[in-house]
Amino acid sequence: IERHPTPTLAPRGSPSPAMLSKAAFARAVGLRLAPPQQRRWQSAIVGALQSKIKALADQKAPQFAALRKEHANVPIGEVDIGMCIGGARGVKCILSETSLLDPMEGIRYRGLTLEEVNERLPKAPGGKVGLPEASLWLLLTGEIPTHAEVKALNEELHKRAAIPEHVLKLIDDLPRDMHPMTQLSMGLLALQPTSKFGAAYRSGTLKKTEYWKAVLEDALFLVAQISPLSARIFRNVFFDGKHIPSDPSLDWAGNYAQMLGVNDTEEFKEVTRLYLMLHADHEGGNVSAHTTHLVGSALSDPYSAYTA
């Protein structure tokens, strides 16, 4: 809380905090709340992640500036009528930093083949598959995370995974024959009011240079919340609403496999880790990724962009 130079003592007859919301009470007694994105205590691992993302951005910024200045008018391809009729299929118009999709060798993450990624990423105890949450770190920072960083990131995701009761009730009340992706979209939109970026943007206090930090906050919450939300939908549709609680001792993907409850073997956890690691990024040009980027470019919050 930041204080105005006006007196901070509540005047006689002022409402008590119990009678007002935090914001309303603060206004009544001459206090001004700090912007929403500054109120949450930041963990060490999120701070480290932010520092690494900023370092990479600072490194890349001159390259993008030179590209824009020196090659802005260089054509990169042709567009024909067939491409237009086909929904822009084959049109080269997206710059992707995180991954590259080659028709012959497949996807590379930050220049590494998927085989190299799987070999180098930290793994679950006794596992042979690179953890997908470690691939998230790689995609965001350009660096292979240490085991300690992945452990701390997993702990952070577990802390952010709680889903409000009203969202759980919404999901549980949906018809069982409703498509799971429709249910997932409704669940994510129900979480949208918790968006840190949305709140900070509407407050008018968020600088453009700080947008990415609020977006990162939302993205981490999304990654954390989507696994218990998806597992709940799966258990509602296929297991008559009999749910399996989250296990904070497990890694993010292993815990997701546990909550799905298809079986409790380590092999199923490994397959789930592999599947999610292989699909962590897709060059940004496929329909779903492109739609997310397009909606996000209009300054929609990550919940709205991902749901689209």
The two structure tokens encoding residue 270: 């490994």
| pLDDT tens-digit readout, 277-299 | 999 887 767 788 888 888 999 99
| pLDDT tens-digit readout, 46-96 | 999 999 999 999 999 999 999 999 999 999 889 999 999 988 888 888 788
Contact 129, 274 (CB under 8 A): yes
Q: Which of 79, 132, 126, 90 is nearest to 256 (CA)?
A: 132
Highest mean pLDDT of the ranges 28-32, 199-203, 227-231, 285-289: 227-231
Phi, psi at residue 240, to the nearest 5°?
55, 35
pLDDT band per the 50, 70, 90 thresholds, residue 101: confident
**What percentage of the chain carries pLDDT values higher than 90?**
72
Q: Which has the higher per-residue pLDDT, 144 or 5?
A: 144
The two structure tokens encoding residue 207: 């600088």
- When pLDDT is averaged across residues 233-261 and rounded to a whole number, the result is 96
pLDDT band per the 50, 70, 90 thresholds, residue 29: very low
The end-to-end CA distance of the chain, in Å, is 35
Q: Quick one: which H or E segment has residue 100? A: strand 99-102
Contact 277, 123 (CB under 8 A): no
Whether the per-residue pLDDT at 24 is higher than 80: the answer is: no
